[in-house]
Amino acid sequence: MSSQSASTSNTDWPGRYHHIDQVLNSPGPRTDPAFLAGDGVKDFLRHQAKILVIGAGGLGCEILANLALTGFKDIHVIDMDTIDISNLNRQFLFRTKDVGKPKATVAAEFIMKRVPGVKVTPYFGKIQDKDDNYYMQFNLVICGLDSVEARRWMNATLVNLVDPENPESLKPLIDGGTEGFKGQARVILPTITSCYECSLDMLNKPTAFPICTIANTPRLPEHCIEWASVLEWPRVQGDKKMDTDDPEHIGWLFSVAAARAKEFNIEGVTWSLTQGVVKNIIPAIASTNAIISAACCNEAFKIATSSAAYLNNYFMLIGTEGVYSYTFEHEKRDDCPVCGGEALELTFSADLTVEGLIEMLVEKQDIQIKKPSLSSPKSQIYLQAPPQLEEATRPNLAKRVSELVPNGGEVTVTASTLPFSLSLRITYT
């Protein structure tokens, strides 16, 4: 079949669904009790189900292809990025001619050209651009993101959508993520199972090197690169802000780090490593993307058709030494700011300042809120924006929290990047 006829045809080729129909034509020993085998479930999958894919990068490309070949025919995709030449080694829907174009648009066109009858609707922009009505139209959502902030926003949005009086408002979220040879896939049923925010403390902290090691006794190429970016850049460049996307800035760091490495007989400083260290990039592995995207799409198929029990609720892959995987049920947190109903208990010294509390909220593993604003039932403690209110509340930064909030009192934490608030119950020591 020519590419032109493939792009315009709405017919299915003979035997297209032969293997999938083996699953959908009759129940099996692990079939969900709600499964109704036959034409009804096949019609829903191929003509009624509407699915949203967030991200059209390494995971997203694989997810889109898998969904189209599984039988989903109404797919939407959101991505705010454009294609870079470095994407081409693993994001296989893109070609050299596509560099600079929106990922969502190019991925959608490629899938529709190669898989007849599938409609992929792209949106080049941010997930925050869309309102609740947009997300309500989908049967389920799959995230193939590389951003924790975007995952948190999407998770909170879907939890907030749930109306107990309307079962259709519950949109299952399937989240996939990779980190080198490691990866995970999970199924989140908003308000029912553990949500993304519940597992925030499982995220790896970015690697940090002691300043004394960087400055005096470097042993690794990463130490030399950190020395160049953390110590030498401000010394030489002054107040000039480093742009980690600027090739000239990366080039300067690379040359300075390479000279430092030569001085200490350290090998391994390269351009790509320099970029990876300063941008905290973990190399993406195509095979990991393929496995995790397959796991995500398998769960989407099971949820859409009820043909088998879906994952409960967390799958992990570790491929650093051999191939090892396991599943477990991650439990809900009662004090989760998104899906829990209780305030988070926080204990600290009565001498801690408001500025110290803000630093704690940024760094604490199970909170991790950037640029938090704080308020109590009686007053605004500190607001990051707008500028007038930030200036008005700035004097409170030097005050002790105990001067503003009584022992056992509550503090509400908000951030412009997250569509939820966190309640803290404060206890002093």
Q: Locate tokens 């996939």: which residue?
A: 176
Please state, as a whole number, how many other Cβ atoms lie within 10 Å of the Cβ of residue 25.
13
What is the rounded CA–CA span in Å between residue 372 and residue 128? 19
Residue 147 is given by DSSP the state -
* Catalytic annotation, pick one of 212, 224, 297, 339: 212
What is the rounded CA–CA span in Å between residue 418 and residue 420? 6
The strand order across the sheet containing 314-318 reads 119-124, 74-79, 51-54, 140-143, 173-179, 182-188, 314-318, 324-328
Tokens encoding 31: 């079939």
Whether residue 407 contacts residue 426, with contact meaning beta carbons closer than 8 Å, is answered with: yes
Residue 163 is given by DSSP the state B
Tell me the Ramachandran region of residue 265: left when phi exceeds 0, alpha when psi lies from -120 to 50, beta otherwise.
left
Tokens encoding 32: 């969900």
How far CA 250 is from CA of 56, 86, 192, 256, in Å, comes to 26, 15, 46, 10
What is the rounded CA–CA span in Å between residue 413 and residue 205? 22
What is the rounded CA–CA span in Å between residue 330 and residue 333? 9
What is the rounded CA–CA span in Å between residue 277 and residue 291? 26
What is the rounded CA–CA span in Å between residue 160 and residue 174? 17
Is residue 378 packed enough to be buried (19+ CB in 10 Å), middle (13-18) or exposed (0-12)? Answer: exposed
198 tagged catalytic:
no
- Name the residues annotated as catalytic: 212
